[in-house]
Structure 1
Amino acid sequence: MGHTNHADIPVSGKMKGTHMRSATIMRLMAGCLGAAATCFSSAGNATEAAAGRYIPGITAGPGMGIVPPTSGVGYWAISNAYYHGKASGEIPFGNDTVALGLKADMWITALAGVYVPELHLPGNWTYAVQGAVPIAWSQAEASLGPIEADDHLAGLGDIAVAPLVFGWHNDAMNTFVSTSLTVTAPTGLWDKGRLVFLGLNYWTFTPAVGFTRLFPEQGLDFSAKFGVDINTRNEDTDYYSGAMAHLDLALTKNITKNFSVGAIAGFLYQFQDDDSTFADAHDGFKGRSIAIGPLVSYKAEFGKTEVNLTLRWAHELEVKNRMKGDAVVFDISGKF
């Protein structure tokens, strides 16, 4: 695709040069933070089926379709997320145990990065790799029959790597499309006898497609990302969590050269049944969830160093067979 400078990506009709380059960093980190979110969901899982790797809305934001268009550069991000959720009714813990109600709190800090190697593809295409490593804390309370139980745990979560990330942009640099494959490995702490885990004890493969359309004169960014989580079986519990489709949407507006606001939404639809004795008796135990919320972003300057700060809140609605709650995420990102 050639050597496109970040300054060529429009942010608004009044933004040029250095600011245009720095304001774009937040958009370019969207895929990186998406990998971090994959880790976040696994770190917070306290059941086989009432939660999964995706939590609606926690990575929705500007630039979900942008892959950095310049080769030989890298970006970093630190994603800090807190989630509080509840689930009522029967909740499966593998094939052996059923909880009646669950309440959980989760916190994770994920270190994420994106690198664009010196690989020049034809046309307006770019190749990148990305990954995220989470450190997590999780606490949960549940009723196990007549027994009230609680547990907490801190440590490494499930690591996510996206070895295949491709991006395309038009010549006007206002329309972007990305495709990616993220692989999440079961590296997190997990024990069949515990109420809380920091991993899911199975692999997940997530193909995804992103889209971003910039409206420079209005200072607007509309972005969307669609993905599918395809899981392997948890061999220790003989529980298979069915495949889930998810869609994130975001519309953001630049208020000043350093400050923007927006609205986000996330949708989850599990289209494949879970496979277990419990799931078979509960019509596949397929999950549904919708989340909406606000987003604010600010670009801070420290001499020649520019750091982007993003805060979002995702409130879950219309939840079925999953935990229902609220997520607050604070991202810090920049360029190497």
Structure 2
Amino acid sequence: MKMNTPDRIPALSLAAFAAAACLALSMPARADENGVSFWLPGQIGTFAAVQNDPGWSWSFSAYHGKASSESVKRNRKGAVSASLQSTPNDLLFVSPTYTFATPVAGAQLAVSMTGYYGRAEAYASQSTTTVRGRTRSQSSDDVHDGFGDLYPMATMKWNRGNHNYLAYATMGVPVGAYDPNRNANLGLNHWSYDGGGGYTYLNEKTGTEFSAVLGLTFNQKNPDTDYKNGNDAHLDVSLSQFLNEDFHIGLVGYAYHQLENDSAPGLGKKDYKARVAGLGPQLGYFFKVGQQKWYANLKAYDEFDAHNRTSGWNAWLTLFVPI
């Protein structure tokens, strides 16, 4: 099967979007301070380790998601139930990238900076039922529009025929809209550092692609709340098949697992480790604009196996534009 050569296929590593696409929601039993982690699972997908053409390129990614959780605690005085629902959130990520033509240690070096703008909405409710059946309820609704944090990223990619290898490093710069008194925030208000590696198998003859990226996140303390997220591990995977030279379909998935408990005043040694997994379909299409080939990718995830974290679904529409 004839298809695009590897140097024409973009690696859609949009830099660490981090927790901006999730909500900073003030609810109990949510690890990663209010259920929000630096790494946004699924952010690196198809062709993750495949080299780009040297020079400038842009990635634009629209995110839409919905998540919720419920919990019930019982004691001698009755029961307390809490529910949290995040209405669909619309975020736009913009990532300019420069790819160097001169190899470094035999690899292709690229640097990028990702920023975003969007809206976060949160609805939280809590009801208390006494042993006599009396119920008291309270709720809060919060909407926040603004800019989020910034995420510089550096990648190195090696190509060995059908085998492609990736090493990356990124960090979160806490400059986004944040208020410790709000339920919905677009920034994390703490520094984070993340690094890892990946692999892509790309066979041009059969049109088969497989990508996997594994990384670790290290978090610093939120100075306004004295809360520190535990370090975590994350795995993003992609499997796709080209149906012709320009169009492919497949599956995407992710797994996120917190490795250590969060720490904060009064938190103690409770099990505050978050985890979640997601799986869903994807499709991608190359199309020519002038003398360049642009690339569009649509993917969606349905989440499961969530613990100490909200879960739901999310979808991405990404456009890669070479210059």
Settle same-fold status: TM greater than 0.5. Answer: yes
Per the alignment, do residues 248 and 296 of structure 1 end up closer, same or farther by CA in structure 2, a change over 3 Å counting? same
**Which of 165, 178, 181 pairs up with 2:155?**
165
| 1:287 lines up with 2:274 in the alignment | yes
Separation of aligned partners in 2, 1:240 and 1:299: 42
1:149 aligned to 2:140?
yes
> How do 1:61-210 residues align onto structure 2 when only pairs under 5 Å count?
61-68=45-52, 70-71=53-54, 73-89=55-71, 100-105=82-87, 106-122=89-105, 124-143=106-125, 146-162=137-153, 164-170=154-160, 172=161, 174-210=162-198
1:108 and 1:134 in contact (8 A); partners too: yes
Q: Does 1:299 align with 2:286?
A: yes
Taking the aligned partners of 1:202 and 1:136, their CA distance within structure 2 comes to 19
Q: Does 1:38 align with 2:18?
A: yes
| Whole-angstrom distance in 2 between the partners of 1:41 and 1:227 | 18
Counterpart-to-counterpart distance in 1, 2:283 and 2:81: 38
Q: Distance in 2 between matches of 1:152 and 1:238?
A: 24
Show structure 2 runs of 5+ residues with no match: 27-32, 74-79, 128-136
Contact 2:261 2:269 in 1 (8 A): no
Higher helix share: 1
3-state SS of 2:34 partner: coil
Quote the sequence identity (%): 24
The number of equivalent residue pairs is 301
- Structure 1 residues 260 and 178 mapped into 2: Cα distance closer, same or farther (>3 Å)? same
The Cα offsets for residues 32-67 of structure 1, whole Å up to 9 and x where unpaired, read as: x243x336436x33342322123333x253211234
Quote how far apart the aligned CAs of 1:200 are: 0.9
User: Helix, strand or coil: the match of 2:21?
Assistant: helix
1:321 equivalent in structure 2:
308
In structure 2, do the counterparts of structure 1 residues 183 and 55 end up closer, same or farther at CA, with 3 Å as the change threshold? closer
Provide the C-alpha distance between the structure 2 equivalents of 1:103 and 1:274, rounded to a whole number of angstroms: 23
Please say if residues 190 and 220 of structure 2, whose CA atoms lie closer than 8 Å, have aligned partners that are also in contact. yes
What secondary structure sits across from 1:241 in the alignment? coil
- Unaligned runs of 5+ residues in structure 1 are 1-12, 92-97
CA distance in 2, matches of 1:125, 1:151: 46
Tell whether the 8 Å contact from 1:41 to 1:52 is kept in structure 2 after alignment.
Answer: no
Find out whether 1:50 has 2:38 as its counterpart: no
State the TM-score, normalizing by the size of structure 1. Answer: 0.83
Residue 269 of structure 1 and its aligned partner are, at CA, apart by: 0.6
Cα shift at 1:99: 9.5
SS in 2 for 1:49: helix
What is the alpha-carbon distance in structure 2 between the residues aligned to residue 78 and residue 39 of structure 1? 17
Q: Distance in 1 between matches of 2:147 and 2:319?
A: 20
Aligned twin of 1:20: 5
Q: Equivalents in 2 of 1:279, 1:314: separation in Å?
A: 32
Contact 1:307 1:334 in 2 (8 A): yes
Counterparts of 1:212 and 1:83, CA distance in 2: 27
Structure index of larger Rg = 2
Contact 2:45/2:211 (CA < 8 Å) preserved in 1?
A: yes
Runs of 4+ in structure 1 over 6 Å off: none
